Amino acid sequence: MKFHMYLCRVCHRYTLKERHCGDESASAHPLKFSPQDKYAKYKVKENR
């Protein structure tokens, strides 16, 4: 399962949709947010 966060350029809210508010959302990759760590966590959980 992949999570790709987008930042709506219209309402400035994070969304999982490529399009929001009828406009293309910008790809959001904040430094605080680490999808890789999250993914690793899920993997460990699933293996057990």
The site for Zn ion (CB under 5 A) is made up of 8, 10-11, 20-21
- Identify which of residues 10 and 40 has a Cβ nearer to Zn ion in the complex: 10
Which residue(s) pair with 14 in the sheet?
7
CB 17 within 8 A of CB 9: no
φ/ψ of 26, rounded to 5, equals -90, 145
Tell me the closest approach of the beta carbon of residue 42 to Zn ion, in angstroms.
27
Tell me the closest approach of the beta carbon of residue 41 to Zn ion, in angstroms.
29
Grouping H, G, I as helix, E, B as strand and the rest as coil, residue 44 is: helix
- Identify which of residues 5 and 21 has a Cβ nearer to Zn ion in the complex: 21
